[in-house]
Amino acid sequence: MEFALLNGEIIERSEAKVDVEDRGYQFGDGVYEVIRIYNGKMFTIDEHLKRFVKSADSIGISIPFTSLQLLEMLEELLIKNKLETGNIYMQVTRGISPRNHLFPTGNVEPTLVAYTIKGVRPLDSLKSGVKAILTEDLRWLRCDIKSLNLLGNLLAKQKASEEGCFEAIQHRGQDVTEGSSSNIFIVKDGSVITHESNNLILKGITKDVILELCTKNNIQVQERTFSLAELEEAEEVFLSSTTAEVMPIIEIDGKKIRAGVPGPINKKLQELFEKEIEKQCGLLVDKV
Ligand code: PMP
């Protein structure tokens, strides 16, 4: 039997239902997190909980549990679902209220949901790399909030998929921002470059782990905006996310990067990233 967390209670997943007037359902009025599980343990959980609270705060939703309570409930959910490798999906919305653009007044409790999804590491893609397309970034100007409103991201990802690609690299004019569900990195003159964490991108937790690994291992990093021209001339390109880890990009809009072979800095970072997973979650059986 599978279980889900609904407003502080762990119940049978098939029983976890929300009302048609939940504001998450009607407006996407809420925020979410995806947390990676290796060996039954949560990777970078403190960072995910912090970002969850920060996203909620930034749209005026007050999560009715402390981070410690959330942590304990998620741990219980993992144990009940016997999840070894996969993800936890968690979201909070502004709650249930008669449909109105204005925030509800009075005591409307946020709706908090979490459940687990089984899923192995994408080892084949991590080894051989993935293809991407370029697309104009059509999203709003608060991409730093991990909002349930993902239409811009969905349209970009769908377009990529229809062109046989894994990811859409978004740009605002000549400036590269981020992927539809990932952060984007280039290597230039041996230096790792990725967009600074401002309102135009999500401050990826995997991105921050990678930046720290670079600093600790004497790999030069620059957090700054880079251009489409720099992307085109890059020595290496890769993306990062909770589920895709450190993923080589080997082709963009049909043009191969490094003749379609993942680069040395990308490979080194994959190795360091696996060590970081093992530090937090125990030994990995299969590695890149
Ligand atoms: N940017 C966007 C738009 C995303 O959806 C994601 C995936 N959550 C990321 C970046 C990467 O963030 P993280 O490393 O925290 O998964």
Of 16, 15, 5, 18, whose CA–CA distance to 73 is shortest?
5
Does the predicted TM-score (pTM) go above 0.85? yes
Q: Are residues 159 and 135 in the same domain?
A: yes
Q: From 202, 242, 245, give the residue whose CB has the most ligand 1 atoms within 8 Å, as the site to mutate.
A: 202
| CA distance linking residue 263 with residue 16, whole number of Å | 45
| CA distance linking residue 135 with residue 154, whole number of Å | 12
Q: Which residues are catalytic?
A: 146
Q: Are residues 114 and 147 in the same domain?
A: no
Q: Nearest C-alpha to atom 2 of ligand 1 is from which residue? A: 181
Q: Are residues 108 and 173 in the same domain?
A: no
- Cα angle: 20, vertex 53, 107; to 5 degrees: 50
Q: Are residues 127 and 59 in the same domain?
A: no
- Structural domains counted in the chain: 2
Q: Are residues 100 and 181 in the same domain?
A: no
Does residue 288 sit within a domain? no
Q: Determine whether the shortest distance from the Cβ of 153 to ligand 1 is under 6 A.
A: yes
Q: Determine whether the shortest distance from the Cβ of 170 to ligand 1 is under 6 A.
A: no
What are the tens digits of pLDDT across the range 74-108?
A: 999 999 999 999 999 999 999 999 999 999 998 99
Does residue 286 sit within a domain? no
What is the domain extent for residue 271?
123-281
Task: Give the whole-number percent of the chain exceeding pLDDT 70.
Answer: 100
What are the tens digits of pLDDT across the range 241-278?
A: 999 999 999 999 999 999 999 999 999 999 999 999 99
* Type and span of the H or E element at 80: helix 67-81
Q: Are residues 55 and 98 in the same domain?
A: yes
Q: Are residues 61 and 138 in the same domain?
A: no
Whose structure tokens read 């990233």?
273
Whose structure tokens read 């490798």?
85
Q: Determine whether the shortest distance from the Cβ of 204 to ligand 1 is under 6 A.
A: yes
Residue 42: per-residue pLDDT: 98
Does residue 287 sit within a domain? no
Of 135, 223, 134, 226, whose CA–CA distance to 175 is shortest?
226
Residue 274: per-residue pLDDT: 98
Q: Are residues 81 and 193 in the same domain?
A: no
Task: Give the whole-number percent of the chain exceeding pLDDT 90.
Answer: 100
CATH number of the domain encompassing residue 100: 3.30.470.10
Long-range CB contacts for residues 215-221, cutoff 8 Å, separation at least 24 = 217/268, 217/272, 219/191, 219/192, 219/265, 219/268, 219/269, 220/190, 220/191, 220/192, 221/191, 221/192, 221/193, 221/194
CATH number of the domain encompassing residue 146: 3.20.10.10
Residue 32: per-residue pLDDT: 99
Residue 227: per-residue pLDDT: 98
